[in-house]
Structure 1
Amino acid sequence: MDPFDFSLQLRYEDIPSPVLEKAPDLILDLLGVAAAGHRTDAAVIARNCACGLFGASASNPSARMLFDGRVVSPAGAAFAAATQIDSFDAHDGHPLTKGHTGVAVLPALLAFGASHAPISGREALACVIAGFEMATRAAIALHATVPDYHTSGAWNALAVAAIGCRLQGLGRDELRQALGIAEYHGPRSQMMREIDNPSMLHDGSGWGALAGASAAVLAANGFSGAPAITVEADEVAELWSDLGDRWLIDEHYIKPYPVCRWAHAVIDGALMLRAEHGLEGPDVAAIEIDTYQDAAKLATDMPANTAKAQYSLAFPVAAAIERGKVGVDEVMGSGLVDQDVARLVAVTTVREEPRYNPPRARGRPSAVSLVLNDGRRLSSGTVVPRGGPDEPLSRAEISQKFHDYAEGVLEPSRARSIERAVYGLSEVDGRLDNLLELVLTDVGSASA
């Protein structure tokens, strides 16, 4: 099946069971991240500005914003939701994309699903799965054909456009135009600029969602676009040849920690040493990290805000050792002013280890060593981060993460209802509307 037919015609019945089981896990995880991200400055600014910049009109479709409820255009709702999720770096990704997929796919479903005809739960899952497949392949194609390392918005915009076209009931030609528009206007921003200078820009997915949603609406109104190179160029044809046979959504990781994936192996190693040896922060005199080139570029000082904390290497490892976990409070609360964590950050050194660099290494490996006050030196050995297909999080772990992240933002009864609604999408009588009513209202609203 070619990318156009796949995007528009993929049926729930044609999708393998493991993929159907993975999709609700990803949706629930994204909603937990969105709940935690609701309070970030970037998310608040994005939602407020969406009202002014991308407001709804009486004669056009509209959509409510995620965990907010105010009405804007579908493009505005997609922009606000993607920015909100992107503001808290705990969402899914794929190693070959070097970025994030669901951060734009879910906002597209919510924005267009809320503004068009009622959608069955199974159709919603098919849309999400098709979006993941489209975005992931577009990402791999982009990385294979350009020299720069672009943010995720450059390619997840195409998935948003595809979902928007499908839910608007458009055909092949409109989809082809929409993909061309989305690729042309998608934010080809340089990811390493954000790594070097962490800010509210994050991974460009807010603008990717905005470009993709706008492209779908423009195409519906007859606007044309140049063919999408990442979909139609001869040199990327092989990447699309297994569409419908190989399911890249099943290769996505779900993050255990709300920081850049490049730091995860070291966090896992630090927590392992802490548990195995009964350590606490005061026991540690120095931390030594050996990692690959990209990860070594993450920040090594004490972060001043959550954006910098999420793109740090020394900080989350120090927090893991001192506090025994890396969660919402560590990255967005008291962890940022914890002087015991700051002490450990100050005694951390980072080295680039050539054998951990691709293509020699697979799976983003790293190692951490702890020098103790009693003179002992403990090493984790090579560690590969958890959460991917080789060591996936269990459904119980995904559920716990969701409730941990939603805590303090959503009432517990509402969080439980959201979880039931997500996994109810696969039921014969499942409806997307059941979920929309729970997530498209303000955090203080909606009945459970």
Structure 2
Amino acid sequence: MDSEHQLYAYAAGLRFTDLPAGTVESAAALILDHLGCALLGMPLPWTRALLTALADGGELTPPGDRPGGHAVGRPGALPPGIAALVNGTAAHGFDLDDTHLPTMSHPGAVVIPAALAAAEATGADGRDLITAVVAGYEVMGRITRATGLGFGEKGFHATGQVGPMGAAVAAARLLTNGTPGAAGSASLAGAVGLAASFGGGIKAFSVGSGNVKRLHAGRAAQAGYFAATVQRAGLAGPPAAVAGKFGFVPTFSTDPEPAYHALADGLGDRHLVDEIYLKPYAACAAVHGAVEAAAALAPVDGDRVDRVLVGTSRRALAQNSNPDPSDVIAAQYSTEYSVALALLGGATDPRRYLDVGTGADAAVRRLAAKVTLRVDDQAEQSYPDANGAHVEVTDADGGRRAARAAVSAATGPGWASAEQKFTAITTGLLTPARQSRLVGAVAALADGGRAADCLTTTTEGTSHD
């Protein structure tokens, strides 16, 4: 069996009882993080614009007698695929959702919305949801590893391009009730074969106006769910759409010899959900080392700073240098802006990025203009598994301060970290009682709690309509 079909066989055969306790905890932590990020992103302008467009097009019509889905924090049933679209967009709406650093992709905002939509449609329990999420992350991450980082450096957005395939696996497992053996493997291959043609996303957003990035995750989640439903109805895609002739990996990889072995090497030894970085800062993960180093030097008096030197990776220098961003996503992708914000003490408040374009960020912009980037050998060597940077601040009187930092997912996401972040970003959106109930609903998944409770618990008590 070739490596692509070994991956499908593994994803189809995975059972909750196969998962170590730490992996179950990681998956639950990522589901909680997803819900928190979606609650934060739901009232933002780009998510509201999507909801308006869907309403105008009649696509928010409740599904009647058919099982429906829910958008996080919004009452009323939706068609499941639309729920996946809305939740994925909202979760990616502040660039605070989880990241797989080795592939520089965001699996949570893609895989989890599709899995939740399928879980609601089938009445799945929490253990089935967790297992589907683990399988979806595994497939998405391994396909991206096999493809390599080159296509992202060329300008494709891995989350939008590869995401439909991971989402399709998670949704297909739930929609087929985890069909085992060859039939289950074939159903996943067929769903991925469709989803491989549904991806999309380029990084033109990085220089603004770029809020289309939020839709990359939502559309990928919707596409994966759609692929799984179409496959179940009898229309399957090419069975070797990942590694076969003209498959995704050979088409998108920039390496003469793509890493096909990454599709199957070490399956089951360690799960990808255990390698996920929970983002504490609402900026591109490639600049997080620089933000953390700058935060260690905060607060500074920006008007007394003469210059700021940031040593970073070559990719961050090429992709994330923009001293004068025009909108929110460009600022979140900008090393200069994000470092300046961190130096002024605003690193941990995602809402500070909403000041871009309003004039309220004048002090940040003045300091960002003083930031210079260069390649740092240590940061380059550790990239992408650890995003590191060195930040040096020189004051007008010649005084210097410096800090070095690196971020990684070496310890996995962890429930405690996810709960702490969830509480921080949902305060003001949920009452404390509702926060507690939602945390409890996610914690109960591992004991077989209803998967749908994770969504329905969010639909009351929010501060946005």
Q: Is 1:34 aligned to residue 38 of structure 2?
A: yes
Assess, with a 3 A threshold, how the Cα gap between structure 1 residues 433 and 332 changes in structure 2: closer, same or farther. same
Assess, with a 3 A threshold, how the Cα gap between structure 1 residues 107 and 50 changes in structure 2: closer, same or farther. farther
Match of 2:79 in 1: 73
Q: How far 1:300 sits from its partner (Å)?
A: 3.0
Contact 2:29–2:415 (CA under 8 A) maintained in structure 1 = yes
Q: How far 1:15 sits from its partner (Å)?
A: 0.6
Contact 2:28–2:415 (CA under 8 A) maintained in structure 1 = no
The two structures have a TM-score, normalised by structure 2, of 0.85
- Rounded to whole Å, the distance in 2 between the matches of 1:248 and 1:394 is 13
The residue type paired with residue 250 of structure 1 is D
Q: How far 1:398 sits from its partner (Å)?
A: 2.9
SS at match of 1:96: helix
- Rounded to whole Å, the distance in 2 between the matches of 1:305 and 1:146 is 25
- Rounded to whole Å, the distance in 2 between the matches of 1:361 and 1:445 is 37
- Rounded to whole Å, the distance in 2 between the matches of 1:370 and 1:197 is 28
Q: How far 1:259 sits from its partner (Å)?
A: 0.7
Q: How far 1:229 sits from its partner (Å)?
A: 3.3
SS at match of 1:351: strand
Deviates more, 1:349-358 or 1:206-215: 349-358
Q: Is 1:130 aligned to residue 135 of structure 2?
A: yes
Assess, with a 3 A threshold, how the Cα gap between structure 1 residues 388 and 292 changes in structure 2: closer, same or farther. same
Match of 2:392 in 1: 369
Match of 1:408 in 2: 428
Match of 1:242 in 2: 266
- Please give the residue correspondences for 1:112-131 in structure 2 after superposition, counting only pairs within 5 Å: 112-116=118-122, 118-131=123-136
Match of 2:364 in 1: 341
The residue type paired with residue 72 of structure 1 is L
- Please give the residue correspondences for 1:134-283 in structure 2 after superposition, counting only pairs within 5 Å: 134-143=139-148, 148-151=154-157, 152-169=159-176, 171-187=184-200, 189-191=201-203, 193-202=204-213, 204-230=216-242, 236-274=260-298, 279-283=300-304
Assess, with a 3 A threshold, how the Cα gap between structure 1 residues 98 and 325 changes in structure 2: closer, same or farther. closer
Q: Is 1:307 aligned to residue 326 of structure 2?
A: no
- Rounded to whole Å, the distance in 2 between the matches of 1:445 and 1:222 is 40
- Please give the residue correspondences for 1:42-61 in structure 2 after superposition, counting only pairs within 5 Å: 42-51=46-55, 52=57, 54-55=59-60, 57-58=63-64, 60-61=66-67
Match of 1:432 in 2: 451
Q: How far 1:173 sits from its partner (Å)?
A: 3.0
The residue type paired with residue 184 of structure 1 is S
SS at match of 1:365: strand
- 1:155-197 Cα offsets, whole Å, 9 max, x none, are 121121112211112643332211100001222x333x23233
The residue type paired with residue 265 of structure 2 is S
- Rounded to whole Å, the distance in 2 between the matches of 1:360 and 1:145 is 13
- Rounded to whole Å, the distance in 2 between the matches of 1:143 and 1:295 is 17
Q: How far 1:254 sits from its partner (Å)?
A: 0.9
- Rounded to whole Å, the distance in 2 between the matches of 1:124 and 1:182 is 20
The residue type paired with residue 11 of structure 1 is R
Assess, with a 3 A threshold, how the Cα gap between structure 1 residues 37 and 336 changes in structure 2: closer, same or farther. farther
Match of 1:422 in 2: 442
SS at match of 1:222: coil
- 1:365-422 Cα offsets, whole Å, 9 max, x none, are 21111012331122224x212x5215x6764443232122112222232122111211
The residue type paired with residue 115 of structure 2 is L
Assess, with a 3 A threshold, how the Cα gap between structure 1 residues 69 and 141 changes in structure 2: closer, same or farther. farther
Assess, with a 3 A threshold, how the Cα gap between structure 1 residues 91 and 127 changes in structure 2: closer, same or farther. same
Q: How far 1:360 sits from its partner (Å)?
A: 8.0
Q: How far 1:60 sits from its partner (Å)?
A: 5.0
SS at match of 1:202: helix
Contact 2:321–2:373 (CA under 8 A) maintained in structure 1 = no
Contact 2:308–2:393 (CA under 8 A) maintained in structure 1 = yes
Assess, with a 3 A threshold, how the Cα gap between structure 1 residues 251 and 267 changes in structure 2: closer, same or farther. same
The residue type paired with residue 100 of structure 1 is H
Considering only aligned residues, what root-mean-square deviation do their CA atoms show, in Å?
A: 2.9
The residue type paired with residue 411 of structure 1 is T
Assess, with a 3 A threshold, how the Cα gap between structure 1 residues 413 and 285 changes in structure 2: closer, same or farther. farther
Assess, with a 3 A threshold, how the Cα gap between structure 1 residues 238 and 270 changes in structure 2: closer, same or farther. closer
SS at match of 1:289: strand
